[in-house]
Amino acid sequence: MKVLVIGGGAREHALCRSLSLDPAVSALYCAPGNAGIADVATLRPVDALDGAAVATLATEIAADLVVVGPEAPLVAGVADAVRAVGIPVFGPSAEAAQLEGSKAFAKDVMAAAGVPTARSYVCTTPEEVDEALDAFGAPYVVKDDGLAAGKGVVVTDDLAVARAHALACDRVVIEEYLDGPEVSLFAITDGVTVVPLQPAQDFKRALDGDEGPNTGGMGAYSPLPWADPKLVDEVMELVLQPTVDELRRRGTPFSGLLYAGLAITGRGTRVIEFNARFGDPETQVVLARLRTPLAGVLLNAANGTLDTLPPLVWREDAAVTVVIASHNYPETPRTGDPIEGLLEVAAEDEPDAYVLHAGTRREGNTVVSAGGRVLSVTATGSDLAQARAKAYKAVARIRLDGSQHRTDIASKAAQGH
């Protein structure tokens, strides 16, 4: 099977790594990719947002499956363009991707499907904004309706800050604050059948102790020793299956990866947000634990035959990933700095620990930083404590001027809470 992966972050590196280890995959391409993905896939240049260009590339390489990684191409209709030339795609249509592309749309689907989520108002005028902020009180949760690359959500006790963010958006969702630990649960679906993956936890804040600004994610781990063993079944029944059923009922079936961002509150599990693609960095740890070869799973979802898939098989191991970000991330990340130590990790730590590339590119013989999140150092071990130790040992070998990483990824969970 020839597979083309669209995107070029650590999530796509994790996907490509798993696909490259799958004996069913005879050729693997990634467009545009990055310096690390080049080790496991043939890179092709493409504008990932240009559906026609992606469809042409997929036809040219005679791809049997196209996997669209990031949300922006999905919302732009890239999966539709590839499907239109008759090539199976893992990833939802533009219409179904509105589940991530519009917070108001997601709320509407959840209301129709009876999915538990924060109570919310959609506001378009300053009067509506003030009314909604007043109704919920602090802490205020204000979300830009559209895609905002992780910058659209403000959670604050400061009314002026909440109001300013709301007024800067055309349309905002203002909602009830959800208290409790967050869980990311991914499910693979063909629009009818839903297959949940293992839950993971992401660390969204930039600094240790969940301080500092929100980021795209600074690390993740799986499994979650503190979570109720019935969590996956519960979320399947209350969230994932009803959402997939509702989108099918509307005539816009969702096929691809449905990502439920959940808060485990004192009053039960609530959806914080949906995404229409694999999460980053959670994918790095979830795929590290998946034993079932990946390509067949994704192809079954693309072809609408997930009901024929045998149950997924998971490794007993735990996995931890630690993101190394550039100087000044997330504000104005500095790029172009050389990265050293990659070969040492490859020589000393693999296969238990390995480096997945996010924002990197090659300049001659050097790999240099090319984005805010630069690397995602991933490790597996017999438990979280061991996986964590291996991940941080590998992190210590990497040298990138001015870089930052959290030192507390999975530390509480490794102690059992």
* The dihedral sign for the CA sequence 339, 39, 24, 61: positive
For the CB of residue 139, give the shortest distance to ligand AMP in the complex, in Å.
7
Q: Is the preceding omega at residue 311 within 30 degrees of 0, hence cis? A: no
The window from 174-182, 313-321, 370-378, 403-411 that contacts ligand AMP (CB under 6 A) reads 174-182
What are residue 59's phi and psi, to 5 degrees?
-70, -45
What 8-state DSSP symbol labels residue 310? P
Task: Look at residue 414 and give the partner it binds from ligand AMP, ligand GLY, none, a contact being a CB closer than 5 to 8 Å depending on partner kind.
Answer: none
Whole-angstrom Cα distance, residue 417 to residue 412?
6
Residue number with the smallest Cβ distance to ligand GLY: 279
What 8-state DSSP symbol labels residue 307? G
> Please, which residues have CB within 8 angstroms of residue 413's CB and are 6 or more apart in sequence?
201, 221, 224, 225, 226, 384
To 5 degrees, how large is the angle CA 310–CA 321–CA 9? Answer: 80
Site for ligand GLY (CB under 6 A): which residue of 144, 202, 246, 337? 202
Q: Which of residues 273-292 bind ligand AMP (CB under 6 A)?
A: 273
- In the chain, the amino acid numbered 164 is A
Q: Do residues 276 and 254 make contact, with C-beta atoms less than 8 angstroms apart? A: yes
> Please, which residues have CB within 8 angstroms of residue 111's CB and are 6 or more apart in sequence?
none
For the CB of residue 279, give the shortest distance to ligand AMP in the complex, in Å.
10
For the CB of residue 153, give the shortest distance to ligand AMP in the complex, in Å.
4
Q: Which of 306, 317, 71 is nearest to 195 (CA)?
A: 306
Of 95 and 100, nearer to ligand GLY (C-beta) is 100
What are residue 153's phi and psi, to 5 degrees?
-110, 130
Task: Verify binding: residue 217, ligand GLY, rule CB under 6 A.
Answer: yes
Task: Look at residue 178 and give the partner it binds from ligand GLY, ligand AMP, none, a contact being a CB closer than 5 to 8 Å depending on partner kind.
Answer: ligand AMP
Whole-angstrom Cα distance, residue 111 to residue 73?
27
For the CB of residue 42, give the shortest distance to ligand AMP in the complex, in Å.
33
To 5 degrees, how large is the angle CA 311–CA 313–CA 318? Answer: 140
Whole-angstrom Cα distance, residue 201 to residue 217?
10
Q: Which of residues 253-312 bind ligand GLY (CB under 6 A)?
A: 275, 279-280, 282
Task: Look at residue 99 and give the partner it binds from ligand AMP, ligand GLY, none, a contact being a CB closer than 5 to 8 Å depending on partner kind.
Answer: none
> 242: helix, coil or strand?
helix
Task: Look at residue 340 and give the partner it binds from ligand GLY, ligand AMP, none, a contact being a CB closer than 5 to 8 Å depending on partner kind.
Answer: none
Interface map 195-234 toward ligand AMP (x if CB under 6 A): ---------x---------x--------------------
* Site size for ligand GLY (CB under 6 A): 6
Residue number with the smallest Cβ distance to ligand AMP: 273
Task: Verify binding: residue 8, ligand GLY, rule CB under 6 A.
Answer: no
Site for ligand AMP (CB under 6 A): which residue of 10, 38, 110, 178? 178
Of 22 and 202, nearer to ligand AMP (C-beta) is 202
Of 241 and 275, nearer to ligand GLY (C-beta) is 275
Q: How far apart are the first and last CA of the chain?
A: 42
Q: Count other Cβ atoms within 10 Å, centred on residue 351.
A: 8
Q: Count other Cβ atoms within 10 Å, centred on residue 139.
A: 14
Task: Verify binding: residue 182, ligand AMP, rule CB under 6 A.
Answer: yes
Task: Look at residue 297 and give the partner it binds from ligand GLY, ligand AMP, none, a contact being a CB closer than 5 to 8 Å depending on partner kind.
Answer: none
Task: Verify binding: residue 272, ligand AMP, rule CB under 6 A.
Answer: yes
Contacting residues toward ligand AMP, per CB under 6 A: 118, 141, 143, 153, 155, 175, 177-178, 182, 204, 214, 261, 272-273
Contacting residues toward ligand GLY, per CB under 6 A: 202, 217, 275, 279-280, 282
